[in-house]
Amino acid sequence: MNQVLANMCLAIPGMITEEYTENGMKMAKVSFSGVIRTVCTEWVPEAKIGDYILSHAGTAISVVDPKEAEEILSLLDEMN
Amino acid sequence: MKYIDEYRDPDIVRKLASKINGSVTQQWSIMEICGGQTHAIMKYNLTELLPPEITLIHGPGCPVCVTPLEKIDKALVLASIEGTILASFGDMMRVPGSSSDLLKAKAEGADVRVVYSPLDALKIAITNPDRKVVFFAIGFETTAPANALALIHAARMEISNFFLLSSHVLVPPAIRAILSSEDTFIDGLLAPGHVCTVTGYSDYIDLANEFNLPVAVTGFEPVDILSGILTTIQMLESGRNEVENCYARSVHREGNPHALRTMYEAFEVCDRQWRGIGLIPGSGLSIREKYSAFDAEKHFTLNNIISKEPEICIAGSVLRGTSRPSDCPAFATSCTPDHPLGAPMVSSEGACAAYYKYKSQH
């Protein structure tokens, strides 16, 4: 896990479990397979508890789109 | 982990590989731009699944690798100044400067701290008001907004002991430079999914039009990478030079406008030296004048630094995609992850480290 978090340009998906504000900044507690880290959510105003965000260097850079995520998998799975 | 495990599904990987094999009729060279993709390709041995007609060329997308030697030497000088704390991403710790690296400096008594977020570096400054804290702010467009956020937040909170040693780089100008050079032969590109999450992919549409090649915006898991390769091959085989988004669960055409706004609030585009590649016009980000009080290179005196690259290392041509790590005479002999001569042997995104780590396993 630490190896993953230390990797510079990788962003990893985690689930928002709690939202709060710190020094005027929107923050969240995010679970990465049970490991909880704090992540800044200033750039994903649409994110809510239960959503998966992609976290990079302590910031959320996107909310994972569940519809797009499943569509591509089922499309690939049906491929001949 | 959700949104990771399903993209490693062996059944889908096999189907994709078979579809790629059935789609290829001629030789194609595809560059995966991001070092994270290079590592995934080596880790999952994806080249073994591809037909011999497809050559993957490893791109320059390793921020640690392209950070100029001079900046590393400056970080070492800053770390040696009495009373300063140098905070850095873990990946930078082993990157060789001209005569030392940050890990050695730390062992010799410098206060060098590894952080995983620039906001953690800012916290160190807040909790140590009597010390000067310099964050070694490197990265591509994925990381630059986070570094900008720490800077803007420091300004808002009127923190006067926090500084950035800034070395940010932009992907599209570097790809333009590589595609323009005479010694590269690239038919298609896998665009970096996390950079595009921030920037969107309009710049890559420009590249596709300018150089007449297809681009697939691609993620980092085996299914993502193979689906990027398949899409690129299908476009190549049908003569379409377009951009397709194969990482739509994260990437939107316009990127993340909030992150971009933060990045451009703190930084402006500048010319930038890339280690191993040279000066690329408009390929970097520097701190805007209004935030110059937080610029370590303006606050500290950093003159008379003479930087010198090791002669044997071929990191430059590896980063340009004209050599493979195994072409280097020093590879796995005098250059290993424990004794690296060049940055690509250190970084978790460096091509040399990927070859060293995974080649022997397969």
Domain ranges of chain A: 2-77
CA distance from start to end of chain B: 25
Whichever domain contains B127, its CATH number is 3.40.50.11740
What's B17-58 look like in SS3? Answer: HHHHHHHCCCCEEEEEEEHHHHHHHHHCCHHHHCCCCEEEEE
Q: pTM, whole model, 2 decimals?
A: 0.94
Asked if residue B333 is part of any domain, the answer here is yes
Residues B149 and B31 in one domain: no
How far apart, in whole angstroms, are the C-alpha atoms of residue A22 and residue B126?
13
Residue B38 and residue B358 in contact, taking contact as beta carbons nearer than 8 Å: no
Contact A59 B146 (CB under 8 A): yes
How far apart, in whole angstroms, are the C-alpha atoms of residue B232 and residue B97?
38
Q: Minimal CA–CA distance to B322: which of B190, B193, B178?
A: B178
Range of the domain at B343: 315-359
pLDDT of A6 reads 47
**The dihedral of CA B252, B254, B257, B260: what is its sign?**
positive
Residues B78 and B165 in one domain: yes
Residues B153 and B88 in one domain: yes
**The dihedral of CA B51, B54, B55, B58: what is its sign?**
negative
Q: What angle do CA A58, A46, B123 make, to 5 degrees?
A: 25
DSSP state of B329: T
Alpha-carbon Rg for chain B, nearest whole angstrom, is: 21
Asked if residue B263 is part of any domain, the answer here is no
Residues B81 and B165 in one domain: yes
pLDDT of B360 reads 63
**Mutation to test the A interface, candidates B142, B231, B244, B253, most A Cβ within 10 Å:** B142
Strands B162-169 and B278-287: antiparallel
ipTM (interface predicted TM): 0.93
Cross-chain CB nearest to B194 (options A3, A11, A40): A11
Count other Cβ atoms within 10 Å, centred on residue B98.
15
Calculate the CA dihedral of residues B33, B237, B222, A28 and round it to 10 degrees: 60
Question: Which chain A residue shows the shortest CA-CA distance from B348?
Answer: A7
- Contact status of A74 with chain B (Cβ, < 8 Å): no
- Contact status of A17 with chain B (Cβ, < 8 Å): no
- Contact status of B166 with chain A (Cβ, < 8 Å): no
How far apart, in whole angstroms, are the C-alpha atoms of residue B289 and residue B34?
31
- Buried b / exposed e across A19-50, counting CB within 10 Å, b at 16+? eeeeeeebbbbbebeeeebbbbbbbbeebeee
Whichever domain contains B48, its CATH number is 3.40.50.11750
pLDDT tens digits in sequence order for chain B, 362 residues long = 899 999 999 999 999 999 999 999 999 999 999 999 999 999 999 999 999 999 999 999 889 899 999 999 999 999 999 999 999 999 899 999 999 999 999 999 999 999 999 999 999 999 999 999 999 999 999 999 999 999 999 999 999 999 999 999 999 999 999 999 888 899 999 999 999 999 999 999 999 999 999 999 999 999 999 999 999 999 999 999 999 999 999 999 999 999 999 999 999 999 999 988 899 999 999 999 999 999 999 999 998 899 988 888 899 889 888 999 999 999 999 999 888 888 899 887 899 999 998 876 65
Q: Minimal CA–CA distance to B320: which of B3, B5, B61?
A: B61
Asked if residue B54 is part of any domain, the answer here is yes
3-state secondary structure of A55: strand
Residue B275 and residue B138 in contact, taking contact as beta carbons nearer than 8 Å: no
How far apart, in whole angstroms, are the C-alpha atoms of residue A69 and residue B259?
22
Asked if residue B287 is part of any domain, the answer here is no
Looking at chain A from residue 42 to 61, which residues have their Cβ under 8 Å from any Cβ of chain B? 42-45, 52, 54, 56-59, 61
Calculate the CA dihedral of residues B244, B248, B250, B251 and round it to 10 degrees: 30
**Mutation to test the B interface, candidates A16, A42, A52, A59, most B Cβ within 10 Å:** A59
Residues B150 and B217 in one domain: no
Residues B125 and B219 in one domain: no
Asked if residue B32 is part of any domain, the answer here is yes
Q: How many independent structural domains does chain B possess?
A: 3
Residues B134 and B71 in one domain: yes
Q: What angle do CA B246, B238, B18 make, to 5 degrees?
A: 60
Count other Cβ atoms within 10 Å, centred on residue B109.
9
Residue B163 backbone phi and psi in degrees, to 5: -135, 155
Asked if residue B253 is part of any domain, the answer here is no
Listed residues B214, B230, B245: the one ending a domain: B245
CATH class of A2-77: mainly beta
Cross-chain CB nearest to B149 (options A3, A40, A76): A40
Asked if residue B323 is part of any domain, the answer here is yes
Residue B80 and residue B102 in contact, taking contact as beta carbons nearer than 8 Å: no
Q: Read off the pLDDT of each residue in A4-13 and give the average, rounded to a whole number.
A: 67
